[in-house]
Amino acid sequence: MNVKSVEKLENSTAKLVLEVEKAQFQAALDKAYRQVKNSIYIPGFRKGKAPRKIVEGMYGKEVFYEDAINVLFPEIWPDALKESELNVVGNPSIADLNVEENGNLTLTVDAGLYPEVTLGQYKGIEAEKAAVEVTEEEIDAEIKKLADRNSTVETVERPVADGDTAVIDFEGFKNGVAFEGGKGEDYSLKIGSGSFIPGFEEQLIGLSAGDEKDLDLTFPEDYGAEELAGQPVVFKVKVKEVKATNTPELDDEFAKDVSETADTLEDLRNEQKEKLLKEKTDNADNDFKNAVMQKAIDNMTAEIPNAMVEAQLDDIMQQWSMSMKQSGFSIEQYAQMMGTNVQGVRESQRASALGQIKNTLLLEKVAEVEGIEISDEQVEEAYQQMADQYQMELEKVKEYVPAEEIVRDQKFQKAMEVITDSAVAVAPAEKAEESAAE
């Protein structure tokens, strides 16, 4: 095999013309024939016994070309890359093939090239960062969540009231006919939760255990099931049990019950304030860093070939498939639940794949420009941290995680720090304008 020509094109792509000598091509045709011959039946020959020339004479000389290319290409492509000195990404595609008069095979191959990256501004980037504050209302909401989680439920002998839980049997009818999905037994419905269509929960208020009632209702116009959207229906409901929720009194004893450190309700409020403050600060920091990284990406120039995006999509889909299997689903089942097909799921991740590639290209280039290096000691320290974290033997961790992967991750982390640590936080535009107006 030899590379006859290489033409670099726009969008980080290249066209290669490869020539394969007749003997090598014929050997691939023979191998392709042997792989499939047992499935070939030609009248006058026992199945699998028809010579290759006979099969080609009946079906055309190109009958084994595709199979031969599948045999041949993995053998010649590494040599083609070495000879052409191209940094190819993704999977190449054969655009054309031609068998010359001398029997040599000529292949025209389209390939994506690793992009050339030109950095724009990546230091001193300005980005908005929200001011962090915690209001009394937010603290009240957290205390209420704690109270709700520590509430108790008891059966009561009285009519249903707002906030109660009604245990009900129900069945829905449209034009006197029960509809699919409209039936439930021993269903615990929290009154006021908005779990059912408007009017359902409200009409249960005042009913007692043992009471039955027909609820005349209309499904919302935007209801998900088209056959029910905007339609009048009747739900036959029987109340079987009424349960009241007892919320603990918000006092010092409550604080001691729900916290390991708080002795008073005021201590608990301060504890929740600190927790909320940390959460908001972390979120603001992450949002700021993400905005800075996106600006650095936007300032960068790189032509990304489609082959690179497709390869990234392959990785994403493989990870999704493995994740689905661990949950007991196939990727096909997941796609069906989402109302699409596997290709639809794949396409939904295209923007994410492109974003991941751009982020990688940015960090690689910054690490290169900044001369970031990772020492053997730093790699060893990372291995030890992983061993401690996962409670594994150090040597086992080294078996599972290549050193190159650790070096790459640490270079990326340091490159990201170069970008984000030098960034400048500014007040959000709307708040800055309000301050100026005042």
User: What secondary structure does DSSP assign to 1-57, as a single string?
Assistant: -EEEEEEEETTTEEEEEEEE-HHHHHHHHHHHHHHHGGG---TTS-TT-S-HHHHHH
Residue 432: band (very low, low, confident or very high) from pLDDT cuts 50, 70, 90: very low
Q: What is the mean pLDDT of residues 169-183?
A: 94
Task: Tell whether the model's pLDDT for residue 434 goes beyond 60.
Answer: no
Nearest to 246 by CA among 310, 158, 156: 156
DSSP SS3 for 206: coil
Q: What is the mean pLDDT of residues 235-257?
A: 96
Q: Which fold has domain 152-246?
A: Chitinase A; domain 3 (3.10.50)
Q: What is the mean pLDDT of residues 87-112?
A: 94
pLDDT for 329-346, tens place per residue?
888 888 888 889 999 999
**Mean pLDDT for all residues in the chain:** 93
Asked whether 174 and 233 are in contact (CB, 8 A), the reply is yes
Residue 378: band (very low, low, confident or very high) from pLDDT cuts 50, 70, 90: very high
Nearest to 243 by CA among 156, 140, 353, 357: 156
Task: Tell whether the model's pLDDT for residue 436 goes beyond 70.
Answer: no
pLDDT for 349-370, tens place per residue?
999 999 999 999 999 999 999 9
pLDDT number for residue 187: 96
Higher pLDDT, 44 or 210: 210
pLDDT number for residue 135: 97
pLDDT number for residue 338: 84
pLDDT number for residue 430: 62
DSSP annotation string for 208-267 = -TT-EEEEEEE--TT-SSTTTTT-EEEEEEEEEEEEEEEPPP-SHHHHHHH-SS-SSHHH
DSSP SS3 for 270: helix
DSSP annotation string for 339-364 = TS-HHHHHHHTHHHHHHHHHHHHHHH
Asked whether 209 and 196 are in contact (CB, 8 A), the reply is no
Asked whether 121 and 423 are in contact (CB, 8 A), the reply is no
Query: Is domain 265-431 classified as CATH 2.60.120.1130?
Result: no
pLDDT for 307-333, tens place per residue?
999 999 999 999 989 988 888 888 888
Residue 382: band (very low, low, confident or very high) from pLDDT cuts 50, 70, 90: very high
Q: Indicate the burial class of 177 (C-beta count within 10 angstroms; 0-12, 13-18, 19 or more).
A: exposed
Q: What is the mean pLDDT of residues 251-275?
A: 96
Percentage of the chain beyond pLDDT 90 is: 84
Task: Tell whether the model's pLDDT for residue 437 goes beyond 80.
Answer: no
Give the residue extent of every domain in the chain: 2-113, 152-246, 265-431
Task: Tell whether the model's pLDDT for residue 115 goes beyond 50.
Answer: yes
Q: What is the mean pLDDT of residues 95-99?
A: 94
Q: What is the mean pLDDT of residues 59-80?
A: 93
Query: Is domain 2-113 classified as CATH 3.50.50.60?
Result: no
pLDDT number for residue 258: 95
Percentage of the chain beyond pLDDT 70 is: 98
pLDDT for 15-26, tens place per residue?
999 999 999 999
